[in-house]
Amino acid sequence: MKPGSWFDKSELTRRLWSFRREFLWVGLFSMIANLLMLTPTLYMLQLYDRVLKGRSELTLIVVTLLMVFFYGIMVVAEWLRSRLLVRGGVRMDEAMNAIVFNASFEKNLKQAGSNPSEAMGDLSAIRQFLTGNGIFAFFDIPWTPIYIAVIFLLHPVLGWISILFSIIQLVVAWGNHKATINDIERSSKAGSESNAYFFSKLRNIEPIHAMGMTGSLREQWIARHEQALAYNGETLHKQHRQQAFSKFVRYVMQSLTLGAGALMVINGEMSAGGMIAGNVLMSRALQPLDLLIVVWKPFIQARDAFSRLEKLFGDFPEAAPKPERPAPQGDVRIDGLVATAPGRTEPILHGLDATFAPGTVTAIIGPSGSGKSTLARCLVGAWPETQGRVLYDEQPIESWNREELGPSIGYLPQDIELFEGTIAENISRFAETDSSKVIEATQRTGIHEAILRFPNGYNSQIGEAGGMLSGGQRQRIGLARALYGNPSVVVLDEPNSNLDDAGEKALVKVLNDLKASGKTVVLITHRMNILGAADRLMVMKEGRIEHFGPRDGVLEVLSAQKAAAKPASRPAPKPAPAEQNVEG
């Protein structure tokens, strides 16, 4: 394969081209099968022109045995090509599912609202087309001219008639394409949007049910669904009409071929066997064209799926191998960090500079919308649109191999995401479960005893998104997952939002243990009572760092600012309670 050829067009094209050997074998077996499709024609000619005239039983037996033998080879050839396609489809999926998964994952990470299942559906559409009737039509159509050539040998008039009928069939196929292509695309898009709307609402079923929103959302979904059904019905109506017309044309052409052959038999220009053989050959010559009409919709869907996957691979190419590095020691620094988001004119974070040293707990406070959670996601490399640098041991985070860096990062997001599986699988991050590390993490978060009270202990299924757990249990299990494997960098976003007093005490103990063991901890909170475990304090406002330094020094500055902002005539406020929300 030469550089610059069309096979270098995209990663998808190159990977599909790697299966050319399988398709060459399929083409070879298709050639054998189609060549042996001439068997019934030759058999009829022998029966009418040799056996019936000579009245030889021996000739009949020999010709019949040959016919059965050739049919057996044809069946074996068709079975082998089907088996090759099935095995090729499995290999194709195995070769491409990883890159499709990775590209889809990157797209969903960087483009909120994208459909993560679309790419896998596109891969299935391509695989099913290339391993089904669609590819059979591709290999069988080239044999139509060969069958027509054999018809010419029977009689030139029948040959010209077969050419005319083939052109008519092609015109019918092209008309079917022009009449339905827009409807197929519109129907497919409407159906996908309807399904996406439905499943997006299922992910938020509890508030929908609690606030009586089911009826309103159902009406909106039904409107979308009915529109999709209308488009699909219109498309199917046109397709069925085209198929019925195509069937009418095919039957008329076969009968006219038989009639033309009969006329030539009457005129003594050909035998009765040739007449019937010509009719059979005409039917066989037009069969791939009929199949082309049937597989036209899957072809359009596979073509669109190919275009989408090609764009996906172009936008999110397979990452080059990253250099191997030892696990980071926990020295984290941000240098001119800017975070943006599509649709926003102003950045979320404005050129932040800060250092988070090993053996320290840095608490980040500030009002809602100040960029705290965005900063947390940037620190773990989960925010897509950034400028500046996030450095781990003075190396940009994007230069690390995520599979190697991941175990060194513990991250508890504000919206805790647990996955369908067992408690142990979730805590161990669905890698090979190390029971001792799992128990160590749960004991540190104080949930070990509670897990043992579940019917199956650590092997208990938590349901989709942790639906079988309470908010506090999900938060503690998410914290245990963050601590699993003793990572060097731990980023916790609102880790105590759902914790009771016992859980908060366990959290304070965890923070002190992490600090004592030299870990780098970043803690985002709205509660002042957890600040006792922090060494350093960062105050954010409107995406900027307003104050950053030792905890006590920053608190003194905040107190002085608060005192200076009070009117002199206002009476002294009452002492603040033990737990105080910074937003208030």
In a domain, 325, yes or no: no
For the chain, the average pLDDT equals 80
Beta bridge partners of 536: 362, 550
**Both 338 and 311 in a single domain?**
no
Query: Is the model more confident about 581 or about 187?
Result: 187
**Both 197 and 302 in a single domain?**
yes
In a domain, 574, yes or no: no
**Both 293 and 336 in a single domain?**
no
pLDDT the model gives residue 350: 92
**Both 411 and 457 in a single domain?**
yes
CA dist 179 and 239 (Å) reads 9
The set of residues, in sequence order, having a beta carbon less than 8 Å from that of 386 and lying 6+ positions away, is 337, 338, 339, 340, 378
CA dist 489 and 411 (Å) reads 8
pLDDT the model gives residue 496: 84
pLDDT 10s digits, 46-87? 887 778 777 888 888 888 898 899 889 988 988 888 888 878
pLDDT the model gives residue 220: 74
pTM of the model: 0.66
CA dist 537 and 535 (Å) reads 7
pLDDT the model gives residue 474: 86
**Both 302 and 373 in a single domain?**
no
pLDDT 10s digits, 16-42? 777 778 788 888 888 888 888 788 878
**Both 429 and 539 in a single domain?**
yes
**Both 20 and 165 in a single domain?**
yes
pLDDT the model gives residue 331: 92
Of 260, 285, 315, which closes a domain?
315
pLDDT higher than 50, residue 582: no
In a domain, 483, yes or no: yes
Write down how long the chain is.
584
Considering its fold, how many domains does the chain have in total?
Answer: 2
pLDDT the model gives residue 245: 77
pLDDT 10s digits, 308-331? 888 887 777 776 677 778 888 889
| Alpha-carbon distance values, 237 to 2, 227, 301, 426 (Å) | 47, 15, 18, 49
**Both 116 and 219 in a single domain?**
yes
Q: What percent of the chain has pLDDT over 70?
A: 88
CA dist 500 and 92 (Å) reads 51
Q: Return the minimum-mean-pLDDT range out of 149-158, 227-236, 397-406.
A: 227-236
CATH of the domain at 293: 1.20.1560.10
Q: What average pLDDT does this structure show over 559-583?
A: 59
Of 272, 289, 315, which closes a domain?
315
The token pair that represents 361 in the structure block: 């707990």
In a domain, 582, yes or no: no
pLDDT higher than 80, residue 446: yes
pLDDT the model gives residue 200: 62
**Both 261 and 342 in a single domain?**
no
pLDDT higher than 50, residue 426: yes
CA dist 285 and 494 (Å) reads 71
pLDDT higher than 70, residue 402: yes
**Both 83 and 200 in a single domain?**
yes
Q: What b-and-e string marks burial along 479-491, b requiring 16 or more CB atoms within 10 Å of the CB?
A: bbbbbbbbbbbbb
CATH of the domain at 553: 3.40.50.300
pLDDT the model gives residue 332: 93
Q: Give phi and psi for 192, each to the nearest 5.
A: -65, -45
pLDDT the model gives residue 570: 54
Sheet containing 520-524: which strands, arranged edge to edge? 409-412, 489-493, 520-524, 360-365, 536-541, 544-550
Q: Which of 340, 344, 415, 345 is nearest to 378 (CA)?
A: 340
pLDDT 10s digits, 173-225? 777 767 776 777 677 777 777 776 666 666 666 566 567 767 777 777 777 77
Q: Give phi and psi for 325, each to the nearest 5.
A: -135, 155
Tell me the Cα Rg of the chain. 35
The token pair that represents 253 in the structure block: 């052409």
In a domain, 439, yes or no: yes
In a domain, 580, yes or no: no
Domain residues for the domain of 404 are: 332-559
**Both 93 and 59 in a single domain?**
yes
Contact (CB, 8 A) for 358 and 330: yes
Contact (CB, 8 A) for 123 and 302: no
pLDDT 10s digits, 96-152? 777 787 777 777 666 655 565 677 778 888 887 877 777 777 787 888 888 888 888
pLDDT higher than 60, residue 512: yes
Q: What average pLDDT does this structure show over 391-408?
A: 88
Q: End-to-end alpha-carbon separation of the chain, Å?
A: 67
Q: What average pLDDT does this structure show over 3-13?
A: 55
Q: What percent of the chain has pLDDT over 90?
A: 20
**Both 149 and 223 in a single domain?**
yes
In a domain, 571, yes or no: no
Q: Which residue has the tokens 């500055």?
A: 557
pLDDT 10s digits, 259-311? 888 888 888 887 777 788 787 888 777 777 777 767 777 887 788 888 888 88
pLDDT the model gives residue 577: 47
Of 284, 315, 346, which closes a domain?
315
In a domain, 218, yes or no: yes
pLDDT the model gives residue 7: 43
Query: Is the model more confident about 413 or about 195?
Result: 413
